[in-house]
Structures are given as structure tokens and as C-alpha cells.
């Protein structure tokens, strides 16, 4: 369902008769709103590392640098609900049919370091259920990535050498089914399950063909390997095309391109390659920048470290003379790295969040003794104080891509 800036209906009210919103990319979008994260007196350098719209498009879930989740409606001024976690957040995923007007579904999964997987209520943060992954030394393992299957009956958690599969309705200390993926030291990242038949898993090991497809029904048996000989980077993110699940998209650490493959054909040759930034190999940082695909499967969007957002047309120009596809639209969204962008399911809105760890100088050292160890043989204790990071731009911005002419 398409919307306009003056439309007063709420995204969550428009599920019946749903059609994907139409994005007009003939000109840069209109900035609807600028928001920030909830201020933390004990953490001055806070920013949102990533954000995900709820499936009904009503609220956004933010993963913040201060080990908190923040849930808010980007269109209003109400303070976000802040859910602090005891350790750094590793990954999170909305329940596939989560809707603010259906409390039973309004929840999400959270992977927090050294904790069981949590199923949290998005309305008040209470723990609904937990799922434990325990290693041979009885330690809790937080998966590097989380995903529900398409009908929300299974939970997939990828970690070192394995994928743990849980029945949603079996909680507590009952461990799930463990799928051993490889004998080598590989951790799973970017796990996505957009099909009732197969799912894709990528590894952090920087090697060729480090994406594998598995069946929900055959367990550890690999259906196929995906990649190319020239591509040897850690997998950062995987997404299937919402309207064509046979097309798989992947981004990689310290790589300025996004790659796609048609799983029905030769998976050793990318179908298309998208130029996600203008940085050279030496300029790319380790910060993970998340891409998104709109619900019609037409637009792929991603931000870069300079604050620009790029949108690529997935329907057109699939066959060009150039091996790399350039964006249909590029615009400046922030003054800092864009950690993630997200397309709304109901309105032609794009949500972008920015922020990065910026330091004013190097670490400083202080010495508590004037004695010289070499001359006097006395011990000198040295303390190092790490400077606080100060993001240049820690804002969240809501962009409207509605047609100015009142199009579809």
C-alpha cells in the first residue's frame, strides 16, 4: 500500500488487502523525521548500530551501542522503550508476523553474549521464553545469527561449526537439534530462512565458496555451495529476494560490493554485482553495514561510511556491459557511517541509522611512580585510559519516497 507524507493513517492499520508500497526514486526522498536514541548518562557515545522495522511497519527495533534495545515509532516524539541487556548484543530477529495490535505475536529473538537465546516481548521487554545452546564445557553460547523459518515453528541459531535448530514451543534447557556444518573452524553469520524448503548459511572464514544451502528436512547435508574463486571475504549478511526466493544476495566484510546469485543456475558465478560504496580496498572499515530489500523485491538499499545511501533497481538492467551495477539513486543521508537502512512494509518509507566509534586521539597513559625501572630496579605500574568514542552523527532519519505527483 502506497502512502503520502500527508496520510494520517498508521502503518499497522493497513495490513488487510496489503500490497507493497511504491518507491519513487526519480528524485531524492523527503526527510520526514530526525530522531535520536534515548540518552544514557553513563554512555555518552551511544548510537544505533542497526534498526529493523516490525513486520507490520508500526515500530522500529534498534540495536544500540550501550547494550540496549530501543523500540519506538519513528514518526512521533514519544520516548523509546529501552530494554537494557547484561552483555553485548550479537543479533536479533522479529517474529515473522509481529504486529503491535496482536500482542501474542509482538515479540522478537535476541542473542546476547554468554546468555541463552531470548524471546522478548516487544511491548514491555519481559522474557517469554529462552533457548539454550551449551558447549562441551557447560558454557552458554550466544549464536552469531538468528532466524525463524518461514512459518515461525523453528528457530535457527548459527555458531562455531554448527547450526542449532529449536522448536519454538520447546523452551528452557531442552537443547535443540545440532547440525554440524564442517570440521573446520567456521562461525555462522548472516543466517536467513526465507523458504519452507531451504536456508542459506555463511561463514566468517575468509575463503571461496563460503555460503552453503541446507534443506530444512535433510539436516546437515549440504544442497550446494555458493560463491566464486575471486571472492575470499567473511560473509557479513545474507538475504533472499522477497518476491523471488531463488535469488540470494550477500555482503562481505571489508568489501565494497554486494553479490547476487540465481540458485537455479550456476552458483559459482554471481548473477549481478552492486557497487555499494566508492571506497578502495584500503579505505573499507570493519564496521558492519546492513543492506535491505524492499517487500516488492525491486529495490536494494545500503548506506556507506561517508553517510550516503544507495538504491539499486533489481528488476531492470540485469544484463549490462559493465560487470558492476551502479545505483539508480544516491543521496547524502547522514554525516557518519550508515549502520543500516530498512524499507517499511506499508508506506514508501526508508529508515536509516548512523553512528560509529570515533575517537579524538590515541589512548593516554598515566604513571603512578617516578622510579626508573632500568636504573633503580623498581616496578613501575602504568595505567591506560581508553578514550570515549563520540559519533559524529548518531541520528535516525525517516525518508519518504512517495511520488510527488500522487502516483500509485
Instruction: Specify the higher pLDDT residue, 185 or 24.
Output: 24
Asked if residue 261 lies in contact with residue 267, where contact means CB atoms within 8 angstroms, the answer is yes
Kindly state the average pLDDT of the residues 281-290.
77
CA 163/CA 250 separation, integer angstroms? 19
Mean pLDDT of the chain, nearest integer = 84
User: If you count DSSP H runs as helices and E runs as strands, how many of each does the chain have, helices first?
Assistant: 1, 30
Kindly state the average pLDDT of the residues 223-230.
90
The residue extents of the domains of the chain are 18-356+391-400
For the domain made up of 18-356+391-400, give the CATH fold: Methylamine Dehydrogenase; Chain H (2.130.10)
| pLDDT value, residue 180 | 84
| pLDDT value, residue 192 | 46
pLDDT at 183 over 60: no
Backbone angles phi, psi at 229, to 5 degrees: -65, -35
Asked if residue 232 lies in contact with residue 206, where contact means CB atoms within 8 angstroms, the answer is yes
| pLDDT value, residue 365 | 41
Confidence bin at 383 (pLDDT 50/70/90)? low
The predicted model scores a pTM of 0.84
| pLDDT value, residue 38 | 76
Backbone angles phi, psi at 375, to 5 degrees: -85, -40
Strand partners, 258: 251, 274
Q: Determine the Cα angle at 221 with ends 220 and 224, to 5°.
A: 125
| pLDDT value, residue 184 | 42
Backbone angles phi, psi at 13, to 5 degrees: -90, 0
Strand partners, 30: 400
pLDDT at 48 over 60: yes
| pLDDT value, residue 358 | 72
Lowest mean pLDDT among 115-124, 128-137, 360-369: 360-369
Confidence bin at 369 (pLDDT 50/70/90)? very low
Amino acid at each position: 500500500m502506497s502512502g503520502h507524507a500527508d496520510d494520517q493513517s498508521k502503518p499497522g492499520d493497513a495490513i488487510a488487502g496489503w500490497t507493497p508500497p511504491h518507491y519513487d526514486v526519480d528524485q531524492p526522498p523527503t526527510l520526514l523525521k530526525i530522531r535520536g536514541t534515548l540518552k544514557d548518562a553513563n554512555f555518552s557515545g551511544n548510537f544505533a548500530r542497526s534498526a529493523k522495522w516490525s513486520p507490520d511497519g508500526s515500530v522500529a527495533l534498534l540495536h544500540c551501542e550501550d547494550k540496549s534495545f530501543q523500540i519506538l515509532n519513528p514518526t512521533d516524539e514519544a520516548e523509546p522503550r529501552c530494554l537494557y541487556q547484561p552483555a553485548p548484543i550479537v543479533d536479533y530477529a522479529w517474529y515473522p508476523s509481529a504486529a503491535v495490535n496482536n500482542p501474542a505475536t509482538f515479540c522478537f529473538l535476541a542473542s546476547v553474549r554468554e546468555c541463552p537465546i531470548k524471546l522478548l516481548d516487544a511491548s514491555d521487554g519481559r522474557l517469554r521464553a529462552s533457548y539454550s545452546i551449551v558447549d562441551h564445557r557447560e558454557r552458554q553460547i550466544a549464536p552469531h545469527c538468528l532466524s525463524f523459518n518461514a512459518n515461525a515453528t523453528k528457530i535457527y541459531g548459527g555458531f562455531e561449526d554448527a547450526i542449532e535448530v529449536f522448536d519454538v514451543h520447546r523452551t528452557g534447557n531442552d537443547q535443540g537439534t545440532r547440525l554440524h556444518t564442517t570440521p573446520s573452524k567456521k562461525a555462522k553469520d548472516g543466517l536467513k530462512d526465507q523458504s519452507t524448503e531451504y536456508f542459506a548459511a555463511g561463514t566468517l572464514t575468509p575463503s571461496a565458496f563460503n555460503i552453503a544451502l541446507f534443506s530444512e528436512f535433510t539436516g546437515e547435508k549440504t544442497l550446494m555451495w555458493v560463491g566464486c574463486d575471486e571472492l575470499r571475504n567473511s560473509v557479513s549478511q545474507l538475504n533472499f529476494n522477497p518476491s523471488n526466493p531463488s535469488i540470494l544476495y550477500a555482503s562481505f566484510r571489508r568489501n565494497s560490493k554486494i553479490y547476487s546469485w540465481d540458485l537455479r543456475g550456476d552458483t559459482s558465478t554471481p548473477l549481478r554485482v552492486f557497487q555499494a560504496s566508492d571506497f578502495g580496498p584500503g579505505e573499507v572499515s570493519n564496521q558492519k553495514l546492513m543492506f535491505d530489500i524492499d517487500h516488492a523485491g525491486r529495490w536494494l538499499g545500503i548506506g556507506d561510511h561517508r553517510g550516503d545511501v544507495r538504491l539499486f533497481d533489481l528488476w531492470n538492467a540485469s544484463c549490462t556491459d559493465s560487470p558492476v551495477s551502479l545505483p539508480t539513486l544516491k543521496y547524502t543521508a547522514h554525516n557518519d557511517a550508515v549502520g543500516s537502512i530498512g524499507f517499511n512494509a506499508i508506506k514508501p518509507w526508508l529508515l536509516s541509522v548512523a553512528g560509529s566509534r570515533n575517537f579524538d586521539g590515541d589512548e593516554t597513559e598515566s604513571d603512578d611512580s617516578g622510579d626508573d625501572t632500568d636504573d633503580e630496579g623498581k616496578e613501575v605500574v602504568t595505567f591506560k585510559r581508553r578514550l570515549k568514542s563520540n559519533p559524529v552523527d548518531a541520528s535516525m532519519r525517516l525518508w519518504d519516497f512517495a511520488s510527488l505527483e500522487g502516483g500509485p
